[in-house]
Chains A and B, each alone.
Chain A
């Protein structure tokens, strides 16, 4: 450091200058995001003024020309795809996490955890292609005939399978993290009481890491809720309440993606879609905050052991 810069006046000036700069930039970020919430709310007011919230959420008619914006098909589609994908993915993700955390050693463990990291980084549009090329024919030619249902391959089941694959890495990485964080003394105690290794994993460790795994599942739910482009590629995009899992449907994000064309020209539709985005934002945020709450509880629980 040059001698001149050791004079404290200049150093203090630099200190306050950088403070002001960082403070400004931090507040810019805060302002942008407060703006986001305000704009979404303010822009969805017109449609809320014309229709009441219950009408929008529980009506099945989507007819922009008549001013009717029923989200029900999209909401039903979202709930179905979310629950089906979670039923499929949670047991597999949790068991595979147990394998990584408790069984795998050395290079196998590195291989598995890098697989999860890579899966997390795969762009969502590639999951969509995967759905079109592999899952859709599978549903069309194998699963649908098994249930004796007609299918085009594009529909809620295909979408659920794609969502299941997309949520796999996020659920797994957090589950592994919370299993690994459990103290070894717990494992030693349980084994010394005569429990088998697998019994320990299933009966004791999963329960001890419960809040962490719950938080992983909640984050996975958030991810399932927001999946837009990949799901839009495989769900078929019909604004009808589906009769079966093989029917084409709609979710809230695909409603936004698929009605994109109308969005620019009709202010009413735009307002309705922004309300959909607001609902999406609020629900995903709720999931994430719940997940963070569950994680904090887990950390606090094991910190003082």
Chain B
């Protein structure tokens, strides 16, 4: 009996320690970003709102407004493209438009793409640019980010559509509707999940650096046109962190603060939507 008490005590201590460690790591990462970044931003709030000077990355004057705007200019349209494609293919695969075998095969493909490294998308788009004799630009980065987001959003759409009760679909069909009319109702029932997925996809796009690193061109000016180089917050942080100038390295934390807040707000918003509306989705067992 005694041995089992000792064993139970030991195992439970280990289990608890691991859980504490996980929370500790999260607190450390978020705390570090918010504390260090907050310090820089309180001393010099203007860095987040001013355009960079020509020598900004070399310790010159200015701020990183270009990266904040660039992030939105690249990721917002990318999210729209990815969402349209994800909803179209999601509906096509789940709404009796195609055979089940085809749907299963495409789902495997989507699963593979979901796991494809972001950097592979970046390298792929860069190669296309070289083949087309074009150069890195805002629009190329948008394309790369939408490639990255598409499988992520498609997965959420798929799960949201699956969570809609099969009874609903059968009932609606029994009323004599066409497939299109049925899926409009399906989509409405699945909407909270879809919206939550789109927001998560947006957050992933904002936070990703690898797909845009090669394709955005790392512009050091305010984004001006579709074919001009631009930059995003993750690329900027990557460049700032490896800079030789201490003041530029400090700014990396300010930029990380902005990025972290954006992502945290988006994740919280997505969770809120998913939970707030989950009472409308029926469980289907």
Q: List residues of chain A with CB under 8 Å of any chain B CB.
A: 11-12, 14-15, 18-19, 21-23, 25-26, 28-30, 32-33, 36, 39-40, 43, 91-93, 95-96, 98-100, 103-104, 111-112, 114-119, 121-130, 132-134, 165, 168, 172, 196-199, 201-202, 219, 222, 225-226, 228-229, 232-233, 253, 256-257, 260, 263-264, 270, 273-274, 277, 280-281, 284-285, 287-289, 292
Q: Which residues of B contact A119 (CB under 8 A)?
A: 22, 25-26, 29
Q: Once bound together, how far apart are the Cα atoms of A114 and B242, in whole Å?
A: 32
In the assembled complex, the Cα of A59 lies from the Cα of B180 at a distance in Å of 57
Q: In the complex, which residues of chain B have a beta carbon less than 8 angstroms from the beta carbon of A25? A: 84-85, 88-89, 92
C-alpha gap A29/B208 in the complex (Å): 21
Besides A28-B85, A124-B207, 17 new A-B residue pairs in contact (Cβ under 8 A), listed by A number: A11-B178, A18-B179, A19-B180, A26-B106, A36-B124, A39-B131, A96-B15, A99-B18, A121-B207, A121-B267, A123-B260, A126-B207, A130-B28, A226-B118, A228-B119, A281-B117, A288-B111
Contacts of B42 in A (CB 8 A): none
Q: Which residues of B contact A225 (CB under 8 A)?
A: 117
A284 touches B117 (CB 8 A): yes
Q: Is the CB of A129 within 8 A of B253?
A: yes
The reply on B241 being an interface residue by CB < 8 A is: yes
Kindly list chain B residues whose C-beta atoms are within 8 Å of the C-beta of A103.
12, 15-16
Are A39 and B124 touching (Cβ within 8 A)? Answer: yes
On chain B, the residues within 8 Å of A289 by CB distance are: 108, 111-112
Q: Is the CB of A125 within 8 A of B234?
A: yes
Cβ contacts under 8 Å, B234 to chain A: 123-125, 229
Taking a contact as CB atoms closer than 8 A, the residue among A28, A219, A280 that contacts B119 in the complex is: A280
Instruction: Tell me if A118 and B30 are in contact (CB < 8 A).
Output: yes
The B1-35 residues at the A interface (CB cut-off 8 A) are: 4, 7-8, 11-12, 14-19, 21-23, 25-26, 28-30, 32-33
Return chain B residues, CB-CB under 8 Å to A219: 115
Q: Confirm or deny: B109 has a beta carbon within 8 angstroms of a beta carbon on chain A.
A: yes
CA distance A28 to B84 in the complex (A): 12
Complex contact A124–B208 (CB within 8 A): yes
Contacts of A14 in B (CB 8 A): 178, 180
Q: Which residues of B contact A228 (CB under 8 A)?
A: 117-119, 209-210
Chain A binding surface SS class: helix
Interface: B160 (CB within 8 A) = no
B interface, how many residues as a size bin? 35 or more
Q: Is the CB of B147 within 8 A of A32?
A: yes
CB contact between A280 and one of B7, B18, B120 (< 8 Å): that residue: B120
Of the candidates B11, B91, B115, B178, the one whose C-beta lies within 8 Å of that of A201 is B11
Q: Smallest distance from the beta carbon of A256 to chain B beta carbons, Å?
A: 6
Q: Which listed residue (A26, A40, A133, A292) contacts B89, Cβ 8 A? A: A26
What 1/0 flags go to B149-186 for Cβ under 8 Å of A? 01000000000000000000000000000111100000
Verify B120–A99 contact, CB threshold 8 A. Answer: no
- List the B side residues contacting A288 at CB < 8 Å: 111-112, 114-115
- A168-B25, A199-B4, A219-B115 known; A126-B259 Cβ under 8 A: yes
The answer to the question of B213 belonging to the interface, with a C-beta cut-off of 8 Å to chain A, is: yes
Q: Report how many A-B pairs have Cβ atoms within 8 Å.
A: 250
B46 within 8 A of A: no
**Chain A nearest CB: distance from B129 CB in Å?**
10
Residues on the A chain within 8 Å of B88, using CB: 21-22, 25-26
Q: Is B207 a contact of A127 with CB atoms below 8 Å?
A: no
Interface of chain B, main secondary structure: helix
Q: Within the complex, which residue of A19, A115, A122 is in contact with B179, where a contact is CB–CB below 8 Å? A: A19
B32 touches A116 (CB 8 A): no
Please list the 9 inter-chain residue pairs (A to B) with the smallest Cβ-Cβ separation, ordered nearest first. Answer: A123-B207, A226-B117, A288-B115, A25-B88, A95-B18, A22-B92, A198-B11, A15-B178, A99-B19
Please give, as numbers and ranges, the residues of chain A lying within 8 Å of B123 by CB-CB distance. Answer: 40, 256, 273-274, 277
Please measure, in the bound complex, the distance between the C-alpha atom of A126 and the C-alpha atom of B180, giving whole angstroms: 44
Shortest CB distance A84–B (Å): 17
Contact between A287 and B115, CB atoms less than 8 A apart? yes
- Bound-complex Cα distance A183 to B75 (A): 42
Task: Decide if B74 is an interface residue (CB 8 Å cutoff).
Answer: no
B264 at the interface (CB under 8 A from A): yes
| CB of A211, distance to nearest CB on chain B (Å) | 17
B116 touches A281 (CB 8 A): yes
Whether A274 lies near B117 (C-beta < 8 A) is no
Q: B223-251 interface mask toward A, CB cutoff 8 Å, 1 = contact, 0 = none?
A: 00000000001100110011000000000
User: In the complex the two chains form, what is the Cα distance from A168 to B18 in whole Å?
Assistant: 11
- B252 interfacial by beta-carbon distance below 8 Å: yes
User: Across the interface, which residues of B come within 8 angstroms of A233, CB to CB?
Assistant: 238, 241-242
Q: How far is the CA of A225 from the CA of B12 in the complex (A)?
A: 32
Interface residues of B in 66-109 (CB under 8 A from A): 84-85, 88-89, 91-93, 97-98, 106, 108-109
